[in-house]
Chains A and B, each alone.
Chain A
Amino acid sequence: MKMTANRAKREYTEAEIADLEARLQEAEDTLDAIRDGSVDALVTKNPQVGQQIYTLKSADYTYRVLIESMSQGALTISEEGIILYSNEQFSRMTATPLEHVIGQKIAAFVDPDDARLVAEILQQRSANVNGSERTVRLKGPHQKEVIFSARKLPSNGDNAFICLVVTDITERKRAETAKDEFIALASHQLRTPATGVKQYIGMLLEGYAGTLTESQRTFAQTAFDSNERQLAIINSILKTAQIDFGGYQLKIIKKNLADLVSESLKAFEPIVAMRNQTITCEFEPKVCALIEPMEISLVISNLIENASKYSSVGGKISIKIYKDPKHAYVAITDNGVGIHEEDQAKIFEKFTRVNNALSDTVSGSGLGLYWVKKIVELHGGEIILTSELDSGSTFIIKLRSC
């Protein structure tokens, strides 16, 4: 059976057409608003069920949850420094109700001494979209120390906004200060008694208490050497602690490597002579590196000491300094016991000592090469090891040249 729609055609009045057009326009505007993200919720009125609210769970909703659950303060501020949006965390940090935060100038929450830093962030942000950071103190009895990380938000219109993330570092700073104080005190307390021992046994050996018999001298020398080992271990532990706890800031300058190595070598002349070892030097002229001399000097001394300790009496050590267009190198080679291939990576790990022909007689803390590598890496450099068991080792320090 054929069904035929039989709906009578209806004529619309002009007023009805205008009303329909207006409703269509409203529907299109609503859709546009939803699409551009400016609608958070829709409210509908249905004669049967009454008013209903539909929340739009858009990406914006997820961001809001994320920002409110952050442990940092998150703010949007105008270029004039007025807070347009703040999360609850910043309100807690400043102990200020949220309604008193929004609309306030950011500088109002900062210690007046640091107001200049806030101004720097605002000015810099006006011209730059890259992030920038400043450490500032907040106002208030607790003097919280925070990092302001600012980033200019991309904007099409005239009004640019700055997104500011505020990280509370008060506790971290307190821990760093406690660490520095601990290391300073530990270095003093551990070294001082050993210094007394060194001083008095040293005086005994140097004849301040009269001439010693041969066996008295041997005993005193053994005690002196043992105390020296203890001091070396204390130094290594403190160095490792300083590096591991972080905050190790280097003061980099340009330094001629030949001068630095020559200075370090002076201390080894008596030790090397006593072991009847020879050191030959081949220094390319004018090799300069970007380093903190005191630190690299410790690295070089440690490697020369190892080269001497792990070579037998009469051993040969060579030190070369050379460069390529970007790097400067110090290579320290010995013809000593060498390091087995499978141990070569391990020796740079903490508290590692490997077995070799001399490990029973040579003392060490197992920390030296660990901090040596760390210090070179802090300089943006690298330690390269080549070694063959029973033939010897070469440690190359690769540094940035200047």
Chain B
Amino acid sequence: MLNKKVLIVEDESILRDAYAMVLNRHGYEVMTASDGEQAIEQIERDMPDLILLDMLMPILGGEGFLDKSDILNKHKKTKIIIYSNLSDRETVQRLIERGVHAHILKSSMAPHQLADYIKQALA
């Protein structure tokens, strides 16, 4: 069976590297992007099964990526997990209503919890 593909969109390089290391070890094919524009380039090249999407990023943030790529309408099979330290209630509710799979506060997850969560989401 082919490995599932996960795109990590995160501007903080230390976090991006850490998530990539954890997901690689758990057998995922990992793609990375440091902002929304790079994420658009990545999904045009190869559509992932799941995207871990940060919100506050330079150039193009998470919500800007959703708007510009229109991924929630065009690629409904790809699961989007908002993985951010933003906990603004209105933003979270708006994104859930738009159809993202979940919003997770990234400070709430230890490495193994992230891996478990992604496994469940892709099951």
- Interface residues of A, Cβ cutoff 8 Å to B: 180, 183-184, 187-188, 191-192, 194-196, 198-200, 202-203, 206, 208, 231, 234-235, 238, 242, 251
Contacts and interface: CB of A to CB of B under 8 A. Distances in A.
A192 B10 CA distance: 12
B85 A191 contact: yes
A353 to B, nearest CB: 23
Interface residues of B, number: 24
B88 A180 contact: yes
Contact of A199 (B18, B56, B89, B93): B18
Given A196-B15, A202-B111, A184 B22 contact: no
A183 B90 CA distance: 12
Interface of B: 12, 14-15, 18-19, 21-22, 25, 56, 84-89, 91, 93, 105-108, 110-112
Nearest to A250: B89
A199 B15 contact: yes
Given A194-B107, A202-B111, A251 B93 contact: yes
A187 B18 contact: no
A192 B25 contact: no
A235 B107 CA distance: 10
Nearest to A195: B107
Contacts of A180: 88
Contacts of A196: 12, 14-15, 18
B85 A206 contact: no
A251 B92 CA distance: 12
A42 B91 CA distance: 65
Contacts of A242: 89
A195 B111 contact: no
A271 to B, nearest CB: 13
B70 to A, nearest CB: 25
A191 B112 CA distance: 19
Given A196-B15, A202-B110, A208-B111, 15 more contacts: A180-B88, A183-B88, A184-B88, A187-B86, A187-B88, A188-B84, A188-B85, A191-B107, A195-B15, A196-B18, A198-B110, A199-B110, A200-B14, A231-B107, A235-B87
A199 B88 contact: no
A297 to B, nearest CB: 13
28 contacts: A180-B88, A187-B87, A188-B56, A188-B85, A188-B86, A191-B85, A191-B105, A191-B106, A192-B12, A192-B85, A195-B106, A195-B107, A196-B12, A196-B18, A198-B107, A198-B110, A199-B18, A199-B19, A200-B14, A200-B18, A202-B110, A202-B111, A203-B21, A208-B25, A231-B108, A235-B87, A238-B87, A251-B93
Contacts, number: 61
Contacts of A195: 15, 85, 106-107
A203 B18 contact: yes
B111 A199 contact: yes
A210 to B, nearest CB: 13
A190 to B, nearest CB: 8
Contacts of B18: 196, 199-200, 203
**Chain A contact surface mostly:** helix
B86 A184 contact: yes
Which of A183, A206, A234 has the most CB atoms of chain B within a 10 A radius of its CB?
A: A206
Which of A192, A199, A208 has the most CB atoms of chain B within a 10 A radius of its CB?
A: A199
Contact of A206 (B12, B106, B111): B111
A138 B91 CA distance: 28
A202 B112 CA distance: 8
Contacts of B105: 191
B15 A203 contact: no
Contacts of B110: 198-199, 202, 206
A187 B89 CA distance: 12
Nearest to A238: B87
* Cβ-closest 8 pairs across A and B: A191-B85, A202-B110, A195-B107, A191-B107, A199-B18, A202-B111, A184-B88, A188-B85
Contacts of B89: 242
Contacts of A234: 107
A223 B113 CA distance: 18
A177 to B, nearest CB: 12
Nearest to B19: A199
Contacts of B85: 187-188, 191-192, 195
Given A191-B85, A196-B15, A206 B93 contact: no
A184 B92 CA distance: 12
Contacts of A187: 85-88
A203 B111 CA distance: 6
Which of A180, A192, A235 has the most CB atoms of chain B within a 10 A radius of its CB?
A: A192
Contacts of B84: 188
